[in-house]
Amino acid sequence: MTKLHTDQKAFNAQLELVPEEPGVYLMRDKSGSVIYVGKANSLRQRLRNYFTPNPDVDDRIALMISRIASYDTIICGNELEAFVLESTLIKKYQPRFNILMRDDREYPYIHVTLQEAFPRVMKAFHIGGDIEEGARYFGPWLNGDIYRALQALTAIFPLRRCHLDLPRDIGKARPCLNAHIGRCLAPCAGKITQEAYREMIDEVCLFLEGRTDDLIKRLHRDMLAAADRLDFEEAAALREKWQALTRLREQQRVVDVAGGDRDALALQRNGTEAAIAKLEVRDGRVTGCVHTFAEDSGGADAMYLAAFIREHYRLPSQIPREILVSAPLPEADLLQAYVRAKRGRAVTVRCPRRGAKKSLVDLAMKNADRALTRRALSRGSDPHAIEQTLALLGDLTGLGRSPVRIEAFDISHHGKGVRSGSMVVFRQGKPERSSYRHFAIRSFEGIDDYRAMAEVVSRRLARLSEESFGNRPDLILVDGGKGHVAAVLPLAREAGIPAAGMVKDDRHRTRGLALPSGAIVELAPAAPRRIAGDRAAVAPVFEEPPRSGGEPCESEDERANRLGLLHLLTAIQDEAHRFALRHNRKAREKSATRYALESIPGVGPARRKRLLQHFGTSRKISEAALEELMGVEGIPRAVAEAVYRHFHEPREAQHEA
């Protein structure tokens, strides 16, 4: 490791020791952590460019240079070797100043565990390390799309869904219900060989790659053969599979009548994040679109596209014959050589300027732009997204416009003891903590959340004209469902303010919005379902069915708006609950101190107050000597002795025993 010196002459002498050969360099900060990994055809020249008095670099690299405390260099045989090593080290160290692509967990993958003897097909939210062992990941998909794809898979392929360790567990349990109804080939009972099951999995991968032509032809051939031998039941089953695949194929957009396999990569940026869309074309048809994101930290578009190519194309099966990009790549030849070595066959990387291929890149560009907008909406990460989310909330609650000031209320109690309410304020979708208020429940005894909520809201509305409480709210939200909304609705209507409720699920997570009409707007994704009769605790796939009543799955924009509103309501509900608990906890501690002292003979509210004013805390009272207690004004000797015995006699008796 070479440490940097502040003396320019000494530093120049250090650089002279760096070889002029191709290689990789690792920049480290004061703690020794790797903060950047790069490659160069000449290590000395590249490092000299970084460490000149005024390096010609963007803001991201300039900040990186200011953090460098030392660097390492690794010599390679040529620039391609350096490129491969750079990719490996970036994956290993995840340096903060390199461009790192990341998946969106809201866009799941289909995970095929090809490293297992009897592979499974599951839903996954990120690419795991088992990809290096041979596993395949297809996607990411929208939830509606992944549901349809997996439904088609179950209609065509009788896959296992259990979590048994096969072949170790073969014969140790009876086949599940899926095997009895023909939806699984029961490898757990040894009813299919590993080779035959693998052939079916290979067909599944072809299906997920969009290569359905051969499957359609084979199913049609097998259907006719079954009919010829008068096995009409088998022929009918094959006909259903053949029709399902044919319908799926007809839905795919044809972009190249001559066929062909290629990927189109396009980049969009908004100053905060960058989105890359990869449009997959197989056999001339668009079979999928992958969205990946990175922090928009400056630099040229080509840097992000190159990082995507380096990180995304890990296995030969992932790499098509041609990769189209939306911006020229300065190192296109090097990237081309890299993916060609990965694939083992010819690969072309190019930036088309006109024609059908340019149109395909433009289509990928539109997808990248929409993905970036949807992500911003669902995460509330920019003012435009927040405004759209607030507009949706205003429409749902009948306000008719975006609420500027939202006041949310929650009730907290501890048994039949301390009861309190909280009011938190969100302005333009952001918390305004200076306007938060606590309320102690006073109008009744016992536990009644509806009555307590009505008391808190009524006390707030009674002070609408007081400047100390801030501006009039545009919307009132209460923590609870229909009952809580019904308890405050007459008060809110009298004040002319819309009200709604924030509903939680059985795991205490925000689920939806309770409207004044009594309807519940469901915002959270469907929870995983258990499979009756299956040893697996949760279904690994097929988790999100279409909407009730046979309605189609939501569009991408609808999903983004739903998630954006869910994100906002979760933040509001969590903040209201946290603030209510904080007040309740403080009140319980104060009450416990009062009751502990007032339980001592001769100590009432006035003497408790004198003791606390003198010592500050109940702990200091418990540790005080008798003489100190007797020195408190207004505390007689007999009372001081009673207080001392209360805190000391039990421990002394225990010590003597």
Model pTM? 0.55
The number of helix segments (H) and strand segments (E) in the chain equals 20, 20
Burial per residue of 397-431, b for 16 or more beta-carbon CB atoms within 10 angstroms, e otherwise: bebeebbebbbbbbbbbeeeebbbbbbbbbeebeb
Element (H, E) at 411: strand 405-413
Domain 2-93 identical in fold to domain 599-656: no
What pLDDT is recorded for position 37? 94
535 pLDDT higher than 50:
no
* Domain over 2-93 is classified CATH 3.30.420.40: no
Q: What would the two tokens of residue 37 be? A: 């990994």
Q: What would the two tokens of residue 96 be? A: 């903060």
Q: What is the DSSP string of 148-167?
A: HHHHHHHHH---------TT
Looking at the DSSP assignment, which residues form a beta bridge with residue 557? none
Give the closest residue to 329 by CA, choosing from 304, 292, 293. Answer: 304
Mean pLDDT in the chain? 80
Query: Which amino acid, residue 167?
Result: P
Burial per residue of 228-248, b for 16 or more beta-carbon CB atoms within 10 angstroms, e otherwise: eeeeeeebebbbebbebbeeb
Calculate the CA dihedral of residues 532, 534, 535, 536 and round it to 10 degrees: -90
77-101 pLDDT, tens digit each:
888 899 889 988 998 888 988 888 7
DSSP tag of 315: S
265-311 pLDDT, tens digit each:
999 987 778 889 988 887 777 777 788 888 887 788 999 999 999 88
CA 443 remoteness from chain centre: 43
* More confident of the two residues 638 and 656: 638
What does the domain layout of the chain look like in residue ranges?
2-93, 101-209, 211-251, 262-378, 384-583, 599-656
**Residue linked to tokens 């990928």:** 364
* Domain over 384-583 is classified CATH 3.30.420.340: yes
* Domain over 262-378 is classified CATH 3.30.420.10: yes
What pLDDT is recorded for position 653? 40
CA 393/CA 561 separation, integer angstroms? 10
What band does 489 get if pLDDT is binned at 50, 70 and 90? very high
Give the closest residue to 360 by CA, choosing from 406, 400, 326, 409. Answer: 326
Inter-CA distances, 170 with 177, 188, 196, 282, Å: 16, 5, 16, 37
Give percent above pLDDT 70 in the chain: 83
Collapse the DSSP code of 466 into the 3-class scheme (helix H, G, I; strand E, B; otherwise coil) and give the result.
Answer: coil
Q: What is the DSSP string of 265-281?
A: EEEEE-SSEEEEEEEEE
* More confident of the two residues 614 and 396: 396
Q: What would the two tokens of residue 152 be? A: 């088609």
What pLDDT is recorded for position 271? 73
Of how many residues is the chain composed? 657
Query: Hey, CA dihedral for 19, 23, 27, 32, is it positive or negative?
Result: negative
- CATH code for the domain defined by 599-656: 1.10.150.20
488 pLDDT higher than 80:
yes
Burial class (CB in 10 A: 0-12, 13-18, 19+), 473: buried
What band does 640 get if pLDDT is binned at 50, 70 and 90? confident
Strand ordering across the sheet containing 23-28? 2-3, 70-75, 23-28, 34-40
